Amino acid sequence: MNTPYDYIILGGGLAGLSLACRLIDSPLADRSILIIEPDDKDRNDRTFCFWSDRPTPFDDIIHHSWDQIQFVDEHGPRRLPLGAYRYHMIRGLDFYRHARQTLAAHANVTFVPAAADHIEDGVDGATVSAGGQRYFGRWIFDSRFRVADFKADPAKAGALYQHFTGWLIETAADAFDPSAATMFDFRVPARNELRFCYVLPVSKRQALIEFVALSAHQLEPTLKAYIEDTLRLNDYRILEEEGGVSPLTGRPFARRAGAHVMTIGAAGGRIKASSGYAYTRIQRDSAAMVRSLIETGQPFSVPADSPFFRLCDVLLLRLMRERGATVRSIFTTMFQRNPVARIFRFLDESASAVDVVLFIAHMPPRPFLQALYDHSAEAIQSGLSKARLKIKANYRQPGAWRQENS
């Protein structure tokens, strides 16, 4: 057994490093921290995008910001000013380097290049097995995402995978307007699912262009066709490539995985189910956990997720899964009838009651009412089926039923 630690963080990605940086920038800065991560994090494997109307913890490494966004469909582009908001882009590699360099300056922070295998909860803390060693921590923060957890009850929670692939390209001549980011461009083959591209220009000749879909079918060929046929760019070169999968589900994730173990990041349900955005939610969650540690001595006193917004996510995911073409028109209506600030507040789950009423009033009601009806009917049927199975089991063993219900 190695030297005990106050905090052990499993995973050195966005969630793990954000939490560690919050800890050393708090009254808990002198506590010992162990970060267990098998990857060197030495490449730009993804880009973190988010919107904000106030300063954020990693503003120093923002790669580019936009004060306007574009929404594009078959009717053409619509440019929308963001007002007090800005849409920001942080390169994954810049984040990893900055966070690791910041943490390396603190002698009480240790990195172990290994994969965590097992967590064993105890009375005063928990033990983590990694790389053939065992490490004891007072509190464990686990960012490891388990696919088996995500797949549980997919119909009820509307579980989907959001696939994305992106190229940072450079053109031979000026081709982009770096003052506006295209968040949605629906001019791609729909295949009855929600599919779109977004364009993040960082200069007149460089832009990150990504294709997002709910299936992994023909990702790169579709991206190439979008660049060359839709944007009409043929003289370009690919500087960087990225890609991945974001799990989208409306089902709640357990935050408490043991007496001394808390889930964070995707494992803690911090990905916004209806949009796939996670950066801002992870920063808020990191701040809440540190605040809980300071005020209560444990990390679990964080704000609970809103049942209302979770239901909204579930309904939209259901529409994505069953009526993908309809969702495109829903997004079009959303941007046509609502100011961007209201949309951002609704997606951030920070909308006021007035915001919520106005947002819903400006959305097409029929698809959501149908999704709500289907969801409710499905939940009732599932509950009845479980009740029937329990009754049958108790009927076969009446003594067990009497004992259980005595």
pLDDT at 327: 87
Examine the domain organization and report whether 22 and 117 are in the same domain. yes
Residue 348 in domain:
no
Residue 352 in domain:
no
Examine the domain organization and report whether 17 and 130 are in the same domain. yes
Q: Tokens in use for 345?
A: 């507040």
Residue 311 in domain:
no
Residue 278 in domain:
yes
Examine the domain organization and report whether 98 and 137 are in the same domain. yes
Residue 359 in domain:
no
Tens of pLDDT, residues 111-158: 999 999 999 999 999 999 999 999 999 999 999 987 666 664 444 556
Give the single-character DSSP code of 254: P
Q: What is the share, in percent, of the chain residues with pLDDT greater than 90? A: 69
- Cβ contacts of 371 within 8 Å, gap of 6 or more: 315, 316, 318, 319
Examine the domain organization and report whether 24 and 129 are in the same domain. yes
Query: Does 263 have pLDDT greater than 60?
Result: yes
Q: Which is it for strands 133-142 and 5-10: parallel, antiparallel or unpaired?
A: parallel
What is the arithmetic mean of pLDDT over 178-192?
90
More confident: 295 or 389: 295
Examine the domain organization and report whether 166 and 21 are in the same domain. no
Examine the domain organization and report whether 126 and 199 are in the same domain. no
Residue 128 in domain:
yes
Examine the domain organization and report whether 31 and 134 are in the same domain. yes
Distance CA(89)–CA(291), nearest Å, equals: 27
- Cβ contacts of 202 within 8 Å, gap of 6 or more: 63, 64, 89, 178, 208
What is the band of 181 on the pLDDT scale with cuts at 50, 70, 90? Answer: very high
What is the arithmetic mean of pLDDT over 334-339?
92
Examine the domain organization and report whether 136 and 277 are in the same domain. yes
Closest by CA position to 52, among listed 90, 86, 81 = 86
Whichever domain contains 35, its CATH number is 3.50.50.60
Closest by CA position to 90, among listed 52, 49, 124 = 49
Examine the domain organization and report whether 124 and 265 are in the same domain. yes
Residue 358 in domain:
no
Tens of pLDDT, residues 17-72: 999 999 999 999 999 999 999 999 988 889 999 999 999 999 999 999 999 999 99
Q: Tokens in use for 406?
A: 């005595």
Distance CA(89)–CA(338), nearest Å, equals: 24
Examine the domain organization and report whether 37 and 127 are in the same domain. yes
Examine the domain organization and report whether 197 and 237 are in the same domain. yes
Whichever domain contains 198, its CATH number is 3.30.9.10
The domain boundary, picked from 261, 296, 331, lies at 296
Q: How many domains does one find in the chain?
A: 3
Domain that holds residue 110: 5-64+85-151+252-296
Output the pTM of the full model.
0.88
Q: Tokens in use for 285?
A: 């969650």
Residue 304 in domain:
no
